[in-house]
Chain A
Amino acid sequence: MRRAHLMMQLEQVGPSGHALAMSLLGNTDDAADVLQDAVATVLNVRSFDASKGTFKAWFLAVVRNRCIDVMRQRRRRPEVDIESVDTAAEADDDPEAVAASDEMAHIVKRELAQLSPEHREILILREFLDLGYAEIGKVLDVPPGTVMSRLHRARSALADRVRSYG
């Protein structure tokens, strides 16, 4: 019963875990390994302690810790595979605007992949996974004030890089 409930919760948060693992590790095989470990960890706990925050934040924290462990053990700089993802163009938009939008999306993807893991992960947590500052704080184990300043630095760093394209 408990396992079935955990599996239902995992179904909801799993793709978010994959997005975070991909942003930190950069390839699908490593991300899949980390997720399998994280799922095993979650299924092995006796019960989820709701006082630690939401299940999603807790699961993402487990995934993040696994990623850090893999990064430390393999001692390599994470490379993000985000470049391989195409951005869908809206067919009914003006072709020139679509072309400009594609170009912008391509630049943002490329530069996002070049950011430090610290900046990349907080942007993924906020912009991709829509987590609030309190939840991000739970995942990263930092106070919300630190989340705000770190997120601001991450956005600024990405803006600086994108601005360099003119």
Chain B
Amino acid sequence: MDDDCASVDELLSGYLDGELTQKDRQRVDRHIEGCSKCTARLRELESISTSVGKLRADMNQEDREQWRKVMDNALERTASGIGWVLVVGAVFVLVGYAGYEFLLADVEPPLVKWAVGALYLGLAVLLLSVLRQRLKARKTDRYKDVEI
């Protein structure tokens, strides 16, 4: 391959894709008119491009199906998240109200009141502990440093 062929070769992909400037395109046109080697090379690259492009139809179908699954999973997770928020919120309200009523009520013996109070406190400590672990896990998320 002489120097002219080598420099034109670098432009052939851009020529095929219509991405060359008018000047470069004309240069390639002029060269391949008189160079059978570069013409053959252009046909070879075109054939490769076409062959890879032919795989696209089936890939597209598979990609659409897989994408649908991903989105369905995302919607399921969102719905599940909303459900959990409602359930947990309702439980908090009901438990809080029950605790408030219990504190105001006259309960005999008083030990029962202390025991229920300890139960509430224990549950609150456990909840805070889980929240702390979640926050820690979030801070060490392996994807947090990935640039967008």
B135 within 8 A of A: no
Output the least CB separation between A33 and chain B (Å). 9
Which residues 28-82 of B sit at the A interface, judged by CB distance below 8 A?
Answer: 44-45, 48-49, 51-60, 62-64, 66-67, 69-71, 73-74
Q: Interface with A: B13-21, B90-98, B104-112, B118-126, which one?
A: B13-21
Q: How many A-B residue pairs have CB under 8 A?
A: 120
- The answer to whether B55 touches A36 (Cβ under 8 A) is no
A109-B55, A128-B52, A159-B44 known; A61-B63 Cβ under 8 A: no
Report Cα–Cα, A35/B78, bound state, in Å.
Answer: 16
The residues of A that contact B71 with a CB separation of less than 8 Å are 10-11, 14, 39
Of A36, A101, A105, the contact of B73 (CB 8 Å cutoff): A36
A140 within 8 A of B: no
Output the least CB separation between B25 and chain A (Å). 13
Of B19, B45, B52, B147, the contact of A148 (CB 8 Å cutoff): B19
Output the least CB separation between B88 and chain A (Å). 21
- The answer to whether B59 touches A65 (Cβ under 8 A) is no
The residues of A that contact B74 with a CB separation of less than 8 Å are 36, 39
A116 within 8 A of B: no
- The answer to whether B17 touches A133 (Cβ under 8 A) is yes
The residues of B that contact A87 with a CB separation of less than 8 Å are 54-55, 58
B4 within 8 A of A: no
Of B13, B44, B146, the contact of A151 (CB 8 Å cutoff): B13
Report Cα–Cα, A109/B62, bound state, in Å.
Answer: 15
- The answer to whether A108 touches B66 (Cβ under 8 A) is no
A149 within 8 A of B: yes
- The answer to whether B67 touches A15 (Cβ under 8 A) is yes
Closest residue to A37 on the B side, CB-wise? B143
Number of B interface residues, CB 8 Å? 37
A82 within 8 A of B: yes
- The answer to whether A66 touches B143 (Cβ under 8 A) is yes
The residues of B that contact A112 with a CB separation of less than 8 Å are 52, 55
Closest residue to B66 on the A side, CB-wise? A18
A152 within 8 A of B: yes
- The answer to whether A108 touches B63 (Cβ under 8 A) is no
Of A69, A88, A101, the contact of B143 (CB 8 Å cutoff): A69
Residues on B facing A (Cβ under 8 Å) = 9-14, 17, 19, 44-45, 48-49, 51-60, 62-64, 66-67, 69-71, 73-74, 142-143, 146-148
Closest A-B pairs by Cβ, 10 of them: A15-B63, A152-B13, A14-B67, A127-B52, A18-B63, A108-B51, A148-B14, A15-B67, A15-B64, A19-B63
Residues on A facing B (Cβ under 8 Å) = 10-11, 14-19, 22, 28, 31-32, 35-37, 39, 41, 45, 61-62, 65-66, 69, 73, 82, 85-88, 101, 104-105, 108-109, 112, 123, 126-128, 132-133, 144, 148-149, 151-152, 155-156, 158-159, 162-163
> What are 24 inter-chain pairs, A to B, with CB distance below 8 A?
A10-B71, A14-B70, A14-B71, A15-B64, A18-B67, A31-B66, A35-B66, A39-B71, A69-B142, A69-B143, A82-B59, A88-B57, A105-B51, A112-B52, A112-B55, A127-B49, A127-B56, A128-B52, A128-B53, A128-B56, A132-B17, A148-B13, A148-B19, A152-B45
